Amino acid sequence: MSKTPWKTENWHTSPWNFAPEVTADWKFPEKIQIHDVTLRDGEQQAGLAFNYDDKIRIAEGLAEAGVHRIEAGMPVVSKDDAKVVQDLAKRNFGPKIYSFARCMVDDVKRAVDAGVGGVIMEVPASPHLIELGYQWELDRAIDLSIESTKFAHDQGLEVVFFPIDFTRSDLKWVCDLIERVGNEGHMDGLALVDTMGATSIHAMQYFVRTMKARFPDKPLEAHFHMDFGLGIANTIMALSEGVEVIQSTVLGLGERAGNVPMEETVMALLTLYDIDIGIKTEKLKPLADMVAEVSGAIVPKNRPIVGDDLFKIESGIIATWLLNCGVENQTEVVPFRPSMVGQAEPEAVVGKGSGIDNIKHFLDKFQIRASEEEAMEVLMAVKDWGLIHKRLMNDDEFKKLAEETLSK
């Protein structure tokens, strides 16, 4: 760790992040991996559908970004999904390929046929979901889990046990279920699954500590959803308690409010905790753009890390800071250099919220001479234009408006 991990050439965050009182209880593992679930859980977002070519293209983008593991899909869903999993499993392009399966022997057989090295095995893990959602007897979930995980292990697969609705279950009951699966079936790793995103940050710390105490020899993975917007914070809390794998998606795609987004999580770890997990951050924006194009997902222009307008500075006072600080000191105005994530440099723009320095900057840009009073007239005209059009002005629009205003 550098002497000032909060302020480097590329970012400027809060020094409080690294106060001894803050870092004293950190238990981050030495190695943290990204397990991307865009191709499976991400596609569960309402209205999304990836074809074979889409999935291969996304997988290649993930590999280029340095993602460690890819959950390629669920072979039992369709022939197309099975082919994606099989073809990605044959490649030697960086990430380890996993498939997803229910705790059923037939699902595991499909994973074996696909040639993957590991399988994420799901089972309902809250009594109310088993009895009401699945309408099963409780023992059925346990019996299926034991039988299928043992079968998967016997076939040479790495088995990550994935209890659905984990965080809304009775903790003792679900821990007893997992212990039986580990003893009578098989479990190489355990996913901590907050299916409904329904866990507070403080409860997450308690949850992880309980699991570490109960299953000290099992690697833990974080699979959290964003229903209350806490998935990223909960993931980082879990990592700080020793969880080793982040299950995430590009753009946070996924069921309902989506999964934990890789972009924000990776950048938060790097800039707020000085933890580099090996992702090529300059690929984050290009990767997000490609997934948005393929999926048709609507990405807010101010979305953290990858939004198109994230580094467009309209507000007058902030534009003044930017213009005064210059490129070399841009992290005084924005928390990290846009180039870190493949974004364009910060730029002052013009719209209803602009100030006089935005206007002077644009007048200079087009070599339009104006007095202080004339520049203010242009500013007022820009504000009026912005109220009518409710968007930023482009260069041609500004040049035309300025010339018309100054010719009166």
CA–CA gap between residue 118 and residue 156 (Å, rounded): 9
The per-residue pLDDT for 194 is 96
The per-residue pLDDT for 67 is 98
Look at residues 135, 129, 131, 65 and name the one whose alpha carbon lies nearest to residue 93: 65
Evaluate whether 289 touches 344 at the Cβ level (below 8 Å): no
Q: Is the pTM of this model over 0.75?
A: yes
Domain boundary, last residue among 295, 329, 357: 295
CA–CA gap between residue 403 and residue 408 (Å, rounded): 9
CA–CA gap between residue 182 and residue 168 (Å, rounded): 21
The per-residue pLDDT for 133 is 60
Q: Domain containing 184: what range?
A: 20-295
The per-residue pLDDT for 325 is 87
User: Same domain, yes or no, for 188 and 324?
Assistant: no
Task: Assess if residue 10 is contained within a domain.
Answer: no
User: Same domain, yes or no, for 178 and 153?
Assistant: yes
Evaluate whether 159 touches 191 at the Cβ level (below 8 Å): no
Task: Assess if residue 27 is contained within a domain.
Answer: yes
User: Same domain, yes or no, for 237 and 325?
Assistant: no
**Bridge partners, residue 160, by sequence:** 120, 189
Q: What is the C-alpha end-to-end distance of the chain, expressed in Å?
A: 60
Phi, then psi, of 347 in degrees rounded to 5: -145, 145
Q: What is the pLDDT along the chain (408 residues), one digit of tens a residue?
A: 678 999 999 999 999 999 999 999 999 999 999 999 999 999 999 999 999 999 999 999 999 999 999 999 999 888 999 999 999 999 999 999 999 999 899 999 999 999 999 999 988 766 766 667 666 666 677 888 899 999 999 999 999 999 988 898 888 888 988 999 999 999 999 999 999 999 999 999 999 999 999 999 999 999 999 999 999 999 999 999 999 999 999 999 999 999 999 999 999 999 999 999 999 999 999 999 999 999 999 999 999 999 999 999 998 889 889 888 888 899 999 999 999 999 999 999 999 999 999 999 999 999 999 999 999 999 999 999 999 999 999 999 999 999 999 987
Task: Assess if residue 34 is contained within a domain.
Answer: yes
Task: Assess if residue 210 is contained within a domain.
Answer: yes
Q: Which residue has tokens 């790793």?
A: 189
User: Same domain, yes or no, for 284 and 324?
Assistant: no
User: Same domain, yes or no, for 276 and 325?
Assistant: no
Task: Give the CATH number for residue 59.
Answer: 3.20.20.70
Evaluate whether 321 touches 331 at the Cβ level (below 8 Å): no
Query: What residues have CB less than 8 Å from 231, skipping those under 6 apart?
Result: 194, 197, 224, 225, 252, 259, 260
Total Cβ atoms within 10 A of residue 393? 22
Vertex 207 angle, CA 204 and 212, to 5° = 125
Task: Assess if residue 6 is contained within a domain.
Answer: no
The continuous run of DSSP H or E covering 114 comes out as helix 105-114
Tokens of 356: 């006089």
User: Same domain, yes or no, for 133 and 259?
Assistant: yes
Phi, then psi, of 119 in degrees rounded to 5: -140, 135
* Contacts of range 173-176, beta carbons closer than 8 Å, 24 or more positions apart: 173/127, 174/125, 174/126, 175/210, 175/211, 175/214
